[in-house]
Amino acid sequence: MAKISINLATGTLQKAEIIVGIDLGASNSLIAFIDPDRNPKVINDTGKGHLMPSIVHFDAAGVPLIGNEARALLITDAANTVLSQKALLGRPENELPQNQVYKPLQVTTEILKELKKRAEHALKTPVNKAVVTVPSYFTDSQRMATRNAGRLAGLDVIKIVNETTAASLTYGIGLDPMDQKTIAVYDLGGGSFTVSVMRIHNGIFEVLSTKGNSFPGGDDFDRTILNYWIDKNNLDAASTAATPSLMQQLRLKAEEAKIALSTQNIYNEKLGEIWCTLDRQTFEQLIAAMVTDTINLCKQAIADAKLTTAAIDDVLLVGGSTRTPYVKAQVTELFGKQPNEQINPDEIVALGAAIQADIMDGNRSFISLPDEDMYKEPAPSSAAAQRMLDQARAEGEQLAYLAGQFIERHRFVLTSMDISGTREILDKLRAALSQDDTDMIRSLTTELNEFTRPFASRLLKPS
Ligand SMILES: Nc1ncnc2c1ncn2[C@@H]1O[C@H](COP(=O)(O)OP(=O)(O)OP(=O)(O)O)[C@@H](O)[C@H]1O
Ligand SMILES: [Mg+2]
């Protein structure tokens, strides 16, 4: 007889299996599930926190240590402590850094194993299935490598979702289904930037456009600070770079300074004899060009979606780097509105992955997401193209009808040139309409308007 037990951790009847949602980040990874009240929740495994640094340390015997414990070894054992492997995952061997001992797949597998372990510990149930998020620009081989890492970690990755899509899902489940929202998701994490323009209506999540890459991210902010200090302290760049533990210490100090400057105006510390001083204004000058890069990508994404910033109802901030006030200010300026900060930017992706897991479990059937298991060319968006065609058709058909009627009604007062010229353009316009040729419809609509305007306005003038 099948046994039904009650899960003490979740307070629900023990289901055959639980599907978790995982945000596999370059800096931090999170694992989330749906709680008994049907809300997505990030797992906080006793005392270890929600965010698990995506850092792995291997000891001499090859035994891995993951997360904060590994982070603590960055300085003392930099050579055996690996971070930010995400960008390298699924890349061909010849694109990996030379002499790299620990392979990205191996490192990612250890991170997933640890997440699985923490989830099983917190939920008191086996965890074998997961939805995992990836950046929208991840290629098919990178998506495949993510699945493989899952398999090696004992997790069947039943679905891959783009990070920004997952974030929009967390936001979207709180909406009135009839409410149509066009949103921009601005995700600046540790190792990448992505912006997606999405439309949500009736439970349908549609990606209108997306732009992104593994540059810039918060790691790049840290790097510019580090270089600035090397310069200010007159250190020899080459020999500093050749000393891994010094580099790690400087890098960690740089990150600390950056985070401090999100809430204060000056950071002033020393590392041995090295002055680590930075004020907010200098920091903003150091990162300005990178932030401008992200703003330009936002502009391109909005243009690809054939929209203007005014058409964006809400801007979601995702990723730890959006806590930098300068970043927030630039985003606010571009969109002309305060971003929506209702949802924690660290957790929004993982929560969305958990909601997707719930959908895969047969719940929330009213939600429809794009299929992102395979990489998609982001532009041109077919949805945007269809909208442009619909709009051109509406205008073209209306004008063709009115112009046709007009020359019939006024055929005795119009010149034969007016009539034959109009008919000629009308024929071409009708052909373009039957072929769904957006550009041709547009240009013939304009031509017909211009050709008929002189005599139409003369005849329609009130006498
Ligand atoms: N208060 C803060 N102010 C500025 N930056 C911060 C703050 N807190 C965290 N960060 C930065 O956010 C970055 C990590 O963000 P996040 O955890 O969202 O990245 P990730 O999801 O792991 O990366 P990716 O999405 O690129 O894979 C790091 O560079 C970190 O230094
Ligand atoms: Mg992220």
Ligand 1 pocket: which of 27, 187, 280 to mutate (most atoms within 8 A of CB): 27
Decide if 48 is catalytic: no
Residue ranges around ligand 1 (CB below 6 Å): 25-28, 86, 189-192, 217-219, 255, 258-259, 262, 319-321, 323-324, 346
Per-residue pLDDT, 381: 58
Q: Report how far apart the first and last C-alpha atoms of the chain are (Å, whole number).
A: 92
pLDDT mean across residues, the chain: 91
The tens digit of pLDDT for each residue in 290-308 reads 999 999 999 999 999 999 9
d(CA 316, CA 184): 6
Decide if 341 is catalytic: no
pLDDT surpasses 70 at 359:
yes
Which residue's CA is the closest to the ligand 1 atom numbered 9? 320
> Which DSSP string do the residues of 380-426 spell out, in sequence order?
S-HHHHHHHHHHHHHHHHHHHHHHHHHHHHTTTTS-HHHHHHHHHHH
> Strands (DSSP E) along 256-325, which ranges?
266-271, 274-279, 314-318
pLDDT surpasses 50 at 452:
yes
Dist. CA 313 → ligand 1 center (Å): 25
pLDDT surpasses 90 at 255:
yes
The tens digit of pLDDT for each residue in 209-226 reads 999 998 899 999 999 999
- Closest ligand to C-alpha of residue 50 is 1
pTM of the model: 0.81
pLDDT surpasses 70 at 14:
no
Percent of the chain with pLDDT over 70: 94
pLDDT surpasses 50 at 3:
no
Per-residue pLDDT, 168: 97
d(CA 270, CA 382): 54
Percent of the chain with pLDDT over 90: 72
The tens digit of pLDDT for each residue in 315-340 reads 999 999 999 999 999 999 999 999 99
Per-residue pLDDT, 4: 45
pLDDT surpasses 80 at 114:
yes
pLDDT surpasses 70 at 462:
no
The tens digit of pLDDT for each residue in 20-64 reads 999 999 999 999 999 988 999 999 987 778 999 999 999 999 999
Ligand 1 pocket: which of 54, 223, 259, 347 to mutate (most atoms within 8 A of CB): 259
| Residue with the larger pLDDT of the pair 375 and 146 | 146
Dist. CA 440 → ligand 1 center (Å): 47
Would strands 18-24 and 127-134 be described as parallel, antiparallel, or unpaired? parallel
Dist. CA 437 → ligand 2 center (Å): 40
> Which one of 86, 116, 258, 306 is the catalytic residue?
86
Token readout for 429 is 């316009």
pLDDT surpasses 70 at 379:
no
Please state which of the ranges 9-13, 171-175, 185-189, 445-449 shows the lowest mean pLDDT.
9-13
Dist. CA 451 → ligand 2 center (Å): 54
* Cis amide linkage into residue 380, ω under 30° from 0: yes
Decide if 86 is catalytic: yes
Q: Which whole number is the average pLDDT over 237-260?
A: 94
Ligand 1 pocket: which of 22, 23, 24, 28 to mutate (most atoms within 8 A of CB): 28
**What domains sit in the chain, N to C, each tagged with a CATH number?**
6-216+289-380 (3.30.420.40), 218-286 (3.90.640.10), 383-460 (1.20.1270)
Decide if 284 is catalytic: no
Type of residue at 67? G
Please state which of the ranges 39-53, 163-177, 262-276 shows the lowest mean pLDDT.
39-53
Sign of CA dihedral 453, 456, 462, 463: positive
Number of Cβ atoms within 10 Å of the Cβ of 386 = 12
Which residue's CA is the closest to the ligand 1 atom numbered 19? 189
d(CA 321, CA 179): 30
Length of the chain: 463
Q: Which atom of ligand 1 is nearest to the CA of 29?
A: 22
